[in-house]
Structure 1
Amino acid sequence: MRSWLGWLVVFCVFGTPALGVTVDAVPRPAKGSWTVDLTPTHVLTPAVRAEVDRLANALNDQGLGQLMVVMVGTTSPRPSREFALALFNRWGIGHAGRDDGALLFIAYSDRKAEIILGDGVDGPEDQEASDEVMAQAIVPAFKRKDPNEAVRGGAQGLKELIENSRLNNPGAAEPSTAADLGGQDSASEASVSITQAPASMTESSSSEPNLGFFAGATGVVGAVGLAGSAWLRRRPRKCRTCGNLRARLGEAQDDAHLDPGQRREESLGSVDYDVWWCESCEDGTVERYGRFFSSFKRCTQCRYVTGKQTSRTLRSATYDHGGEVEVTVRCGHCDYVTTSRHSTPRRTRPSSSSSSRSSSGGGRSSGGGSSGSW
């Protein structure tokens, strides 16, 4: 009898799947704090939590948006994306009426990462930037077993996403078109031409009622898109003159076929170039691959993506009036400097339904963002 009871206890303890925390049980962070770490070993270091709080407070103080990071062990049996969206809307991350919030949610034991975007910052460009943050900053760091760098890089990327969103830049120019990207000066060699490289774009639907299906579909589409983009970039090229296959030059070799501005873009990491060389014709073609997730801006003088942007607050936004910032872009290629001033929206008072302890203020999301796993 005792033996049977012993096996029953062992089964109950080890044979029952671990159940995750519920949305209602996730504690709201104290006002001024934007991180929650419910992992059993408290994965996030104090330094990273302080860095996330610094980034999030800077956004909130300027009235540009709100950024939250939440880590739990597991959400089982609830899908992580469904859990993250419910948590986002329960807390109301973002300013009421602007819906300018972003949540980086990590189910650490499940190896799942979710980005939830507020309805005000989930346009096509924002979705594209979200996918880039997930694919370039978050998932690779988790695969390297560096969760703190994943969170730090993800928070930095989402802060830039909100700052660069159309919501906060209503007068910004339209995104660069293929014609614009292909309009740069060609390389110094007359035989080299520039063509626009293919780029993948994955848009997530924010109105899909089945969130579990939505999360899975987003992951599949994202993986297919990245794989397809890599294949298109490296697929064999034929020379149109002689019909022979071209060879893709290495990074050291292709510099000889790039002009100084293009080499500067590559050194800064804002643009990557491939040179496909035909040995028979001694002819090369240059293909341009702009990076979606880059802090550099296109210089209005030389047209290369070599401008480093800095901003200075001239007047802080308050609950009564908006603010003003001075934005300076200094080109790292031609040293051209442009300065402009932009208005920022006034701060929005938290809705009465929000908890007095919560830093969030009444934002809403329909499910836009990105999913990742490692």
Structure 2
Amino acid sequence: MLALLMLVFQVASVTDIASPRPTGWVTDQAAILDDATEAKLNALAQRLFTSKGIELAIVTVDDVPGTPKQFATKLFNHWGIGAAQTNTGVLVLLVMGKRRLEVETGTGIEAALPAAWLADMQARDMVPRFKQKDFPGGLVAGVEAISAHLGAAPGESTSVAPPGEYRDDGTVVPAGAGASDPGTPGPTVRSEPVRVPPPAYVAPVKDDDDGAPSGAIVGGGLGLLGLGGGAALIARHRRRRRICTTCQPNRRMLPLDEVEDDKHLDEGQRKEENLRSVDYEVLICAGCQQSRTLRHNKWFSGYGTCSSCSYKTASSDSRTIVHATYDHGGQVEVTERCMHCSRVHSYTRYTSQLTRPTSSTGSSSSSSSYSSGGGSSGFGGGSSSGGGAGSSW
């Protein structure tokens, strides 16, 4: 037993952890992962980065000084996980010596990965496997759940419109009705056929909640596009989403007004619109009567995604229980309330201890060890304010 204990290595600081970038996303300092599992985790993280532009790092260590939560926040900011512009990074940290899991989130992704959802996911998918000493399986299950949750945010859907005929001016009348007399059959109104140009090459990505493609956009033969070319491709992408490709020739789809588009939304979506956390746009093809619902996320609405009903209808209030000092971290009680399904959930979030100021000669290097890293770490320069959730096993 003594020999085994001597093998446990406690890292002294975040600088002792080697960044996995740019070759991968996993640092297995605790040596608990086989090659196949590490390759799978790298593939999952790379797929998330390619599809959503989200940086997700997985780290295992034997032990850390202080609390795992404090260490997770410091390591996240030291590496600068996530893009500096969006702060949508995620760190999955496993501390074997303290039997503790921490999932740290960047400030820009806390609404998409709320602490309540992370805690529920850990209890369901990760902790039971850890208790059975299946640490590789628990990490894979957790990363798969996070990737699926982030990829499930609806971008658009296509469905057949309810009975009626949607005309070129966006109005709806009984099927086959005339323009002047709703009860008199009239000629069919046709939407204008359009020619859809072949798309430039776009690296395989999914739409984000704002309807714009995320990830790298590449122009054929031109390498990475400049800002002007990238904006042009995004505008072109959005125009194509408003064209019905089912009809031949293709037709422009028509936007419905607020009254008519509500008929295509479910109760949760209508609640999101009432709270102004999401704006839905419903398009109709006057030819085949297919509808397409586009989701435009309002990033600064003050509402997050409910971990129970998955609608962006959850608000949160917080109060400080223990203030952070130079000697210890703090505790904040957070209460989340969903305006749609009425779920109320309270949990405690731990904040990092304060960093003592240093002399003028060392202040620059000391502050940089906690602030967003990026650069030499290979990550994008993102930051975390302590969001996320943790679990013990």
Q: TM-score, normalised by structure 1?
A: 0.47
Highest Rg: 1 or 2? 2
